[in-house]
Amino acid sequence: METRRIVLYLNQFFGQIGGEDQAHIAPQSFDKPIGPGLGLKGLLPKNCTIVGTIVCGDSYFNENLEEASATVGEMIKDFDPHVVIAGPAFNAGRYGMACGTVGKIASEMGIPAVSGMYPENPGVESYRQYLYIVETGNSAASMRTALPSIARLAGKLANQEPLGSPAEEGYLSRGIRKNVFAEKRGSDRAIDMLLAKLQGEEFETEYPIPHFDRVDPAPAVADLSQATLALVTSGGIVPKGNPDRIEASSASHYGRYSIAGVESLTADAYETAHGGYDPVYANQVPNRVVPVDALRALEQEGKIGKLFPYFYSTVGNGTSVANAKKFASEIAHELVNEGVQAVILTST
């Protein structure tokens, strides 16, 4: 069998360069497998070789999307691969967006790409049509089960073997409809499904109806100089010592903190509980995430009527969509009851 070349894309952490303090690094190229690549090596078909690994910091990629994409594209081209594997990214948002973008770059070059993500990773929704995304657990603890599926899929793509449906192959639906020959005609299949449904048996739809949950934009605030405005953040700013013990990732709750009489969030009184970004800058000047100082100035100038005397904070790092919805819905109920009209929500 002809040799097939595979290139791996990893973030700074899995690329073994460093943690959040290295999330700012620009793309680097290595001509060998690194990190998960060592595990993949033994799982890929024998004719597939990982010829290189491209490593980029998660923050760099997302903050410099165009430059990062261009550089990574050039690096991929230099390796001339048959398949690109990105990640797996599990439920890491920035990493998932980077892996998705890499998949898009590869697909534009005519190279198939495979990644692995938790279904709630924003990278799935944004990039699923460009690459095959194997469903993984929400943390790197599922690396062991993710790699064999990724390797199997990458191997098939490298050797141009036909792929089955998302359910058969273990990847998340790409929203692509394919013509296939069925044994029974449509009316028979529909009746079978209906009978199964009426008898309370399990059945599988052939075309899941896409679910778009969109909220229409709220009207503009008529006069902010008369309005009460509240601050909410997913950036994890909390009073020093994190009194509510908000988790550094996968937060199970949020906090509400009084800023009555507080002119500025200072380093001696506030810090971040977020474990998904380098905390140095937020700890130095917490206003960089929750801009109380600027809003006090604008309140003084009469640009807003009043800053709501509490801010709300949680950690948006790997936090489940269900929890985020619940937190925000509770916060919003409270704000509406308190007569707040406008919200600034900051995210890191």
Partner 1 sequence: MVKEIERMGLTVVHVCTVTPISLTVGANRIVPAVAIPYPLGNPKLTADEEFSLRKKLVQQALDALEQPVSEQTIFEN
Q: Does 335 bind partner 1 (CB under 8 A)?
A: yes
State the DSSP code for 268: T
Q: Does 348 bind partner 1 (CB under 8 A)?
A: yes
Q: Does 198 bind partner 1 (CB under 8 A)?
A: no
Q: Does 219 bind partner 1 (CB under 8 A)?
A: yes
| Alpha carbons 207 and 43: distance in angstroms, whole number | 33
Among 88, 235, 236, 255, binds partner 1 (CB under 8 A): 235
Paired with 133 in beta bridges are 115
| Alpha carbons 301 and 65: distance in angstroms, whole number | 37
Q: Does 115 bind partner 1 (CB under 8 A)?
A: no
Q: Does 3 bind partner 1 (CB under 8 A)?
A: no
**Which of 214, 247, 270 shows the shortest CA–CA distance to 318?**
247
Q: Are 259 and 228 in contact (CB under 8 A)?
A: no
| Least distance to partner 1, CB of residue 336, Å | 5
C-beta closer to partner 1: residue 123 or 155 = 123
Q: Are 265 and 239 in contact (CB under 8 A)?
A: no
| Alpha carbons 307 and 220: distance in angstroms, whole number | 18
| Least distance to partner 1, CB of residue 151, Å | 28
Paired with 79 in beta bridges are none
**Which of 71, 172, 55 shows the shortest CA–CA distance to 123?**
172
Please identify, among the stretches 40-48, 141-149, 183-191, 324-332, the one whose residues bind partner 1 according to the rule CB under 8 A: 324-332
Neighbours of 71 (CB within 10 A): 19
Among 213, 260, 268, 322, binds partner 1 (CB under 8 A): 213
Q: Are 139 and 248 in contact (CB under 8 A)?
A: no
| Least distance to partner 1, CB of residue 159, Å | 33
Q: Are 82 and 156 in contact (CB under 8 A)?
A: no
C-beta closer to partner 1: residue 20 or 157 = 20
Q: Does 221 bind partner 1 (CB under 8 A)?
A: yes
Q: Does 289 bind partner 1 (CB under 8 A)?
A: yes
Q: Which of residues 73-102 bind partner 1 (CB under 8 A)?
A: 93-94, 97
| Least distance to partner 1, CB of residue 302, Å | 12
C-beta closer to partner 1: residue 148 or 275 = 275
Strands (E), 71-225: 83-90, 113-117, 132-135
Q: Cα–Cα–Cα angle for 265, 267, 271, nearest 5°?
A: 85
Among 32, 144, 256, 325, binds partner 1 (CB under 8 A): 325
Please identify, among the stretches 2-10, 27-35, 187-195, 275-283, the one whose residues bind partner 1 according to the rule CB under 8 A: 275-283
Q: Does 68 bind partner 1 (CB under 8 A)?
A: no
Tell me which residue has tokens 């973008």.
Answer: 101
| Least distance to partner 1, CB of residue 335, Å | 6
C-beta closer to partner 1: residue 149 or 234 = 234
Cis preceding-peptide flag for 88 (omega within 30 of 0)? yes
Q: Does 297 bind partner 1 (CB under 8 A)?
A: yes
**Which of 312, 295, 315, 313 shows the shortest CA–CA distance to 304?**
295
DSSP string spanning 146-184? HHHHHHHHHHHHHTTPPP--HHHHTB---S-------SS
Please identify, among the stretches 43-51, 133-141, 156-164, 281-289, the one whose residues bind partner 1 according to the rule CB under 8 A: 281-289
The contact set with partner 1 (CB under 8 A) reads: 20, 23, 59, 62-63, 65, 93-94, 97, 122, 125-126, 213-221, 224, 229, 232, 234-235, 277-282, 284-285, 287-289, 291, 293-295, 297-298, 303-304, 314, 316, 324-325, 327-329, 331-333, 335-336, 340-348
